[in-house]
Amino acid sequence: MCGNNMSVPLLTDAATVSGAERETAAVIFLHGLGDTGHSWADALSTIRLPHVKYICPHAPRIPVTLNMKMVMPSWFDLMGLSPDAPEDEAGIKKAAENIKALIEHEMKNGIPANRIVLGGFSQVR
């Protein structure tokens, strides 16, 4: 991969699975609460496609209110599970900005926007 990964926080330690040939597409896959990108990179490597790069970034380790403020990998704080629980708007916005920067980085390095897929597991609001 070309470019400066230091300007894209989610790329700093991201687990990646490279395509066997020139990469013309990317899958960015976000793990769930308390997990890391490593397990998903391992799983995605079993369905490796020749022209696809899989990027599995790691969420920052933060205190999670829902889990007695235990520090764990989380894209944003979770206050509760009920639909009317307060939301960590600032944390969600920061996560979205970091994901947008990762997508833009891939586009600057030659992957067209229509060949970038964003997926994930578990931590959604």
Q: Are 95 and 101 in contact (CB under 8 A)?
A: no
Q: Any idea where the domains of the chain sit in the sequence?
A: 5-120
Average pLDDT over residues 94-108: 97
Quote the percentage of the chain above a pLDDT of 70.
94
Alpha-helical runs (H) found in 1-125: 37-45, 89-108
**Which pLDDT value is given to residue 3?**
46
Global pTM reads 0.89
- DSSP3 helix / strand / coil % (the chain, rounded to 5): 35, 25, 45
pLDDT one-digit tens code per residue, 20-42: 999 999 999 999 999 999 999 99
Angle, CA of 39, 85 and 56, to the nearest 5°: 20
5-120, CATH topology level: Rossmann fold (3.40.50)
pLDDT at residue 82 tops 70: yes
Q: What's the CA dihedral at 68, 71, 77, 81 to 10 degrees? A: -40
- Distances from the Cα of 113 to the Cα of 56, 100, 116, angstroms: 18, 11, 5
Say if strands 25-30 and 52-56 run parallel, antiparallel, or are unpaired: parallel
CA distance linking residue 98 with residue 26, whole number of Å:
16
